[in-house]
Amino acid sequence: MPSDPAPMIVCISSSPAERARLAGQFDGAGILVLAPDAGAAGVLLRRLAGTGSGAAAVVDPARRRRPAPQPPDEVLRVGGLALDLSRHEATWHGRGLPLTPYEFKVLGCLAGRPGQVWSYQQLHERAWGGTYFAGPAAVQSVIKRLRAKLREAGASVTIRATRGVGFRLDGGPELSLVRPAARG
């Protein structure tokens, strides 16, 4: 008679310290999955389900057959800058801007609320999806690359620093937010 599969416990926390605390409290009576967000947990669970490792019983097979819901098309526009969030594409007056995922996420924050100062911590948590602990260097590096790419494209929108606080998107006379900023 086959034994019952080990229980699987999924814990989601963006804090590495919290994940470490949870791992330390785990008694080993099953499978512990620690993930920084629901997306990462879903990827891992789908991979486990596809391996035939016994974890497939955790995932409902009928659910796997349903197509994933498509997110609504959403485009942020600030002057000639357009960020298509569903396609992960950025353009300046229709010409593509080749951005890394981190550059796109940071620019998405800034463009979502142009003129608002975003702190290093806010930008880090949004782009990297985790707790801010490494200092401003990673954010500063992304901002430096974004500024260069915007300059190269001839964009009139610029990223301005607020010393010791963070950054904001400044569009000068071209600054106009087509889609109202989401609250939250």
| CATH number of the domain where residue 109 is located | 1.10.10.10
* C-alpha pair distances (Å), 163 with each of 82, 140, 160, 166, 168: 27, 12, 9, 7, 11
What is the rounded distance in angstroms from the CA atom of residue 30 to the CA atom of residue 12? 17
- Judge if 34 and 121 occupy the same domain: no
The answer to whether the CB of 59 falls within 8 A of the CB of 36 is no
Closest CA to 85 of 75, 94, 77, 95: 75
Q: Is residue 83 part of a domain?
A: yes
Closest CA to 90 of 64, 111, 70, 66: 111
Average pLDDT over the chain reads 76
User: If you average pLDDT over residues 17-37, what whole number do you get?
Assistant: 71
- Judge if 49 and 94 occupy the same domain: no
pLDDT for position 178: 44
Task: Provide DSSP, 100-161.
Answer: -HHHHHHHHHHHHSTTPPEEHHHHHHHHH-S---S-THHHHHHHHHHHHHHHHTT-S-EEEE
Above 90 in pLDDT, residue 169? Answer: yes
- Helix or strand or coil: residue 93? coil
- Judge if 87 and 159 occupy the same domain: yes
> What pLDDT, in 10s, does the model give residues 85-121?
989 999 999 999 999 999 999 999 999 888 899 998 8
- Positive/negative CA dihedral, 138, 144, 147, 152: negative
Q: How confident is the model at residue 11 (pLDDT cuts 50, 70, 90)?
A: confident
Rounded to two decimals, the pTM is 0.56
Which residue, 16, 35, 65, sits at the end of a domain?
Answer: 65
Which residue, 47, 65, 83, sits at the end of a domain?
Answer: 65
pLDDT for position 145: 96
- Judge if 150 and 109 occupy the same domain: yes
Domain assignment of residue 18, given as a range: 8-65
The answer to whether the CB of 27 falls within 8 A of the CB of 9 is no
- Number of domains present in the structure of the chain: 2
Above 70 in pLDDT, residue 71? Answer: no
Tell me the sheet residues that pair with 32. 9
